Amino acid sequence: MSGVPELLVLRLLARKTMYGYELVKAVRVMTGEAIALGEGVIYPALHGLEKNGALKATRRPVNGRTRVYYRVTAKGQRRLDRLTAEWDRVSSGVRAALVAPQGAIDGLSES
């Protein structure tokens, strides 16, 4: 599961600029609640990505408060493309292993 929260965060923020609470909610809804991130833990992840230049934070006043909105930068988009390709490779590998017929596994010891 390593890298999955980062992949989700980048994917969702590439679609829409969001603030932390909105983003956690989006992850929950978009994954059908299969992935529920620790809500407070999202901030170190966002700040780490921001420090690495993958995200850009903007402060906006909303109802007398200042909210921090995040969006994906060009560097973040490249990172997202790389993580997506990696995820596709791993998930298709796991899927292939799960549906492999018994004969394919038996054949391994014979060769």
Partner 1 sequence: MPSPKLTALKTSLRAGGVSPAYISRLLAELDDHYADLEREERATGREPVVAAVEALRRLGQQDAIAAEVLAKPELRSWPERWPWIVSLLRPVLLLLLLPALPVLACAGRGPAIARWSVSISLAALLTGGLLLAMARSMLAVI
Which chain residues interact with partner 1 by CB under 8 A? 19-21, 24, 38-41, 43-45, 47-48, 51-52, 65-68
**Of 52 and 84, which has the nearer Cβ to partner 1?**
52
10 in Cβ contact with 53 (< 8 Å): no
CB of 87 to partner 1, least distance (A): 22
Q: Which is nearer to partner 1, 65 or 109 (CB)?
A: 65
Question: Closest distance between partner 1 and the C-beta of residue 90, in Å?
Answer: 22
Cβ closest to partner 1, residue 48 vs residue 107: 48
CB of 5 to partner 1, least distance (A): 10
